[in-house]
Amino acid sequence: MMKNKLAYLLILVIATSSLTSCFSDQDDEIQPASTLEIQDFVWRGLNIFYLYKEDISALDETNYASQAELDNFLDNYANPEDLFDALMSSQDRFSFIVSDYTVLEDALAGTSKSNGMEYGLVQLQSTGEVFGYVRYVLPNTDAEDKGVERGMIFNRIDGTAITTENYSSLLASTTYTIGLASFENSTLTELDETISLTKSEYTEDPVYIAKTIELADKNVGYLMYNAFNNNFDNTLNNAFANFKGEGITDLVIDLRYNGGGSIETSNDLASMVTGQFNGELFTTQVYNENFDDVERLFNNEVSTGATINSLNLNKVYILTTGSTASASELIISSLLPYIEVVQIGTTTTGKFQGSVTLYDSADFSRSDASINHKYAMQPLILKTVNANGYTDYVDGITPSIIVEEDYANLGVLGDVNEPLLAAALNDVSLGRFTVDNNKSDLEFKEIGESDMNALNYQRMYINTAE
């Protein structure tokens, strides 16, 4: 996982020799692990890898003279989740622990229960009313079959009005019925129409739209990309092969709903946009004091080994909102030192840290993970720093061109008149394109979205094998 394998092994030896490990030999008979065994795994993993280890005195191994002293500390917590929470830094908004790592693995692979309706949730500040709006609909899903469309507004679930207190539980059900509404003249009005939706197992292709838009004198590539999932690296690379074949002169990457994912895929996408910087610094991964920093370089191969289809561009347009996070922000940050990045939309989430899945095995990898429990952790273990030293953008990255989405008139994704895309095309065509940004003066607060409870929500990660 780490580039500095020697440092990793030395630390592991020191940790396991000074504090006797609770690992037992694995055999064919599964013996459920005790709470103490699982909590020992939690402490050991965070003690070695956690980015903010220095913030947490309980992770300082010198505070414990023996395994017995460490066990006494661990026994203060009723379960692994409570211990994990107690060992988290106040700087950390993103680390988590799971009791069944297979669910986490599915989420990272892009597989989850979905009805196909991707939505945002908004509170109208003047009245406190809450409504959902459909961002997009996934193909071959129940939502598509039922005629759900981008821009639809709903304010009831199973007949119950959505509030800030109940939205999470109402939308968690496998089957629910949305009650549609309209939002006109600053007023939310219930409609009689309802749509019943059912979730099923679904794997999302993150390449949602890839098309070429022909302007008078230019071909503009438009890519709506919704997750940095390396299982679809070939699909992404093929989209760039098509862009090359169609001779695009400009590129718009729509990351407005992209919460992130694989650092490697973010690296590859940046290399597809460019190509002229192969071998130069993409980002530096900075770890805690246990590890040396790792430089990640622009490259010419995707994870499958296929040659990257590079466009060699010196300028790129990137569309963002407050849902744009982690690996999406990384590509903006990492391209800034090299080419012109025209960011359009609203300010991003503000996540510059990366994580990794830690399993209960000798080297914390999936191989030989304990058969006696399925706990795993996804702690922050690194932060990214671009070639100019830019990092710690906790308040997000602010666009150079501000365009807010209008919940009452979202427009059609990929259509030249959709406000965020129109703003990019206006810049491409030197002001010859119409931009409609007449958004309501009302104050809205985004309070949630369809993926907010997903284990891969706004995560940026490296693979164990790296």
Q: Are residues 190 and 275 in the same domain?
A: no
| One domain for residues 244 and 181 | no
Q: Do 136 and 208 form a contact (C-beta atoms < 8 A)? A: yes
Short-list 440, 256, 228, 410, CA closest to 343: 256
Whether residues 266 and 326 share a domain: the answer is yes
| pLDDT reading at 311 higher than 70 | yes
Torsion of CA 347, 227, 169, 79, to 10 degrees: -100
pLDDT digits (tens, 9 = 90+) for 144-185: 999 999 999 999 999 999 999 999 999 999 999 999 999 888
Q: What is the pLDDT of residue 2?
A: 42
In this prediction, residue 5 carries a pLDDT of 42
Pick the range with the lowest mean pLDDT from 30-39, 306-315, 420-429, 435-444.
435-444
For 464, the token pair is: 């164990």
Same domain, yes or no: 315 and 183: no
Angle ∠(400,403,407) on CA atoms, nearest 5: 155
Distance CA 80, CA 46 (A): 12
- Residue 422 burial by CB count (10 A; 0-12/13-18/19+): exposed, middle or buried? buried
pLDDT tens track for 211-227: 999 998 899 999 999 99
Q: What is the CATH number of the domain that holds 218?
A: 3.90.226.10
One domain, residues 392 and 263: yes
**Residue 85 counted as domain residue:** yes
Please give the average per-residue pLDDT across 367-387, as a whole number: 96
Q: Does residue 420 fall inside a structural domain?
A: yes
Q: Domain tally for the chain?
A: 3
Evaluate whether 348 touches 318 at the Cβ level (below 8 Å). Answer: no
Do 240 and 350 belong to one domain?
A: yes
Per-residue pLDDT at 15 exceeds 90: no
Q: Are residues 10 and 88 in the same domain?
A: yes
CATH number of the domain at 193, please: 2.30.42.10
**Domain stop point among 40, 67, 95:** 95
pLDDT of residue 465: 37
Structural domain ending residue among the three candidates 60, 95, 130: 95
> Is there a domain that residue 196 lies in?
yes
Residue 104 is assigned to a structural domain of this protein: no
- Both 327 and 250 in one domain: the answer is yes
The verdict on residue 283 lying in a domain is yes
Cα end-to-end span (Å), the chain: 4
Give residue 447's pLDDT: 93
Q: What is the pLDDT of residue 91?
A: 94
**Model confidence over 106-159: pLDDT tens digits?**
888 888 899 999 999 999 998 999 999 999 999 999 999 999 999 999 999 999
Identify whether residues 369 and 242 lie together within a single domain: yes
Same domain, 43 and 169: no
- Residues β-bridged to residue 262: 461
Please state, in angstroms and rounded to a whole number, the distance separating the CA atoms of residues 399 and 319: 9
Instruction: Evaluate whether residue 322 is within a structural domain.
Output: yes
- 456: pLDDT strictly greater than 90: no
Q: pLDDT tens for residues 394-442?
A: 999 999 999 999 998 999 999 999 999 999 999 998 766 666 665 656 6
Which residue segment(s) compose the domain that 254 sits in? 207-439
Answer whether residue 186 is part of any domain: yes
Average pLDDT of span 99-105? 93
Mean pLDDT of 329-356: 97
- Domain end residue (candidates: 166, 201, 236): 201
Relative orientation angle of helices 263-273 and 327-335, to the nearest 10 degrees: 40
One domain for residues 230 and 259: yes
Mean pLDDT for the chain overall: 91
Are 231 and 336 within one domain? yes
Sheet holding 460-461, edge to edge: 261-262, 460-461, 353-355, 380-385, 281-286, 294-297
Q: What is the pLDDT of residue 432?
A: 62
Is 252 domain-assigned? yes
The burial of 13, by beta-carbon neighbours within 10 Å (0-12 exposed, 13-18 middle, 19 or more buried), is given as exposed
